[in-house]
Amino acid sequence: MIKCENLQKRVPMAGTELEILKGITLEIKSGESVAIIGASGSGKSTLLGLLAGLDEATAGSVAINGTDIGALDEDDRARFRGQHIGFVFQSFQLLPALTALENVMLPLELQGQNSVEEQARHYLQRVGLAARTGHYPLQLSGGEQQRVALARAFASKPAILFADEPTGNLDTTTGEHIIDLLFELNREEGTTLVLVTHDQALAERCQRRLRLDGGALVGE
């Protein structure tokens, strides 16, 4: 499903180069759930960005379902993301000018699908927000916003879902509800799940855990 080899990321900083990822090689199978854990600054988010095709690696390769996404240009990567990848972010990343329903419809519209509203409503109902479709993000609580984000992520039926600290901005109880919902949906949809987290409890629920330290993979 996801295969990355000798993945490196270096960025220029104050005259020298900062090495963020020092050659990561890993493989994630279809339907698997994997947690990437590590201390702040260990390179977790950078790795996630590269695996999801949001960023370009300095060296090495990432292949998803056999497609080398490093070889694609940004537009092709965007199309690829639209077709195969879903996201859940720590800061929700809902568009403030759109209602909950419109936010969920957005990726479907971008895929050029028809009758997207029905589908979007279905997923909002699935996360328990059927009554709040017309609300704007600012009118929703953090937990509700993350549920909209979940609905948005699953509505486009992605093969892989990337989640970046999905509970990082939520209190424990709300966080647990979100995690339950995330794994439930994941099971129903048969999605491959890759998440980055500090949250040990969350990491424990994944089938596999990858630990990063100083930009290198130090164990499973």
Partner 1 sequence: MTATKMLARDWRGGELGVLVMALVLAVGVVSGISAFTTRLQNALEQESHRFLAADLVVTGGRELPADWLLAAERSGLQQALTLQFPSMVYAGDDAMALASVKAVSDAYPLRGEMTYSQAPFGTVLAADTGPGRGEVWLDSRLFALLDVAVGDEVTIGEASFIAVAAARTEPDQGSSFYGYGPRVVMHYSDIPATGVVQPGSRVEYRQLYAGETAAVASFREWLDPRLQEGQRAVTVEEGQPGIGSALDRAESFLLLAGSLAVVLAGVAVALAARRFSERHHDYVAIIKSLGATSGAVNRLYGSSLLLLGAIATLLGCLVGWGIQALFFSLFAEQLPVQPGPSGIRPYAIGAVTSLTCLFCFAWPPLRRLGHASPLRVLRRDLPMENRRAFFDYVLGLLAVTLLMWWYSQDWKLTLAVLAGLGLTVGLGFCLALTLLRGGRLVGMSAGSIWRLALAGLQRRGNANALQVVIFAMAIMMLLVLLLVRTSLIDEWQAQLPEDAPNHFMINIGPENVQAIEQLLRVEDITSEPFYPMIRGRIMSVKGEELPSTDDVQEGRRQREINFTWSDTLPNENRLLAGEWWAPGSDEPLVSLEEEFAERMGLEVGDEVGFLVGSQPLEARVASIRQLQWQSMRPNFFLVFPPRLLADFPATFMTSFHLDEADKGFLNRFIRSFPTVTVIEMDVVVEQIRTIIYQVSAAINLVLVVILAAGGLVLVAGVQASVDARVHESAILRALGAQRRLILGGLLIEFATLGLFAGLLATMAAEVSVFILQTLVMEMDYSPTPWLWPVGVFSGALVIGALGVFSCLRVVSTPPVRVLREL
Which residues are at the interface with partner 1 (CB under 8 A)? Answer: 45, 48-49, 52, 54-55, 74-75, 78-83, 85, 87, 89, 91, 93, 95-98, 102, 106-107, 109-111, 138, 152, 156, 164
- CB of residue 158 to partner 1, shortest distance in Å: 10
Please identify, using beta-carbon distances, which residue of 5 and 102 lies nearer to partner 1.
Answer: 102
- CB of residue 32 to partner 1, shortest distance in Å: 22
Give one DSSP letter per residue of the chain, joined into a string: -EEEEEEEEEEEETTEEEEEEEEEEEEE-TT-EEEEEE-TTSSHHHHHHHHTTSS--SEEEEEETTEEGGGS-HHHHHHHHHHHEEEE-TT----TTS-HHHHHHHHHHHTT-SSHHHHHHHHHHHTT-GGGTT--GGGS-HHHHHHHHHHHHHHT--SEEEEESTTTTS-HHHHHHHHHHHHHHHHHHT-EEEEE-S-HHHHHTSSEEEEEETTEEEE-
Please identify, using beta-carbon distances, which residue of 97 and 131 lies nearer to partner 1.
Answer: 97
Please identify, using beta-carbon distances, which residue of 66 and 112 lies nearer to partner 1.
Answer: 112
- CB of residue 162 to partner 1, shortest distance in Å: 9
Please identify, using beta-carbon distances, which residue of 18 and 207 lies nearer to partner 1.
Answer: 18
- CB of residue 106 to partner 1, shortest distance in Å: 6
- CB of residue 44 to partner 1, shortest distance in Å: 10
Please identify, using beta-carbon distances, which residue of 29 and 79 lies nearer to partner 1.
Answer: 79
Q: How far apart are CA 155 and CA 86, in angstroms?
A: 9
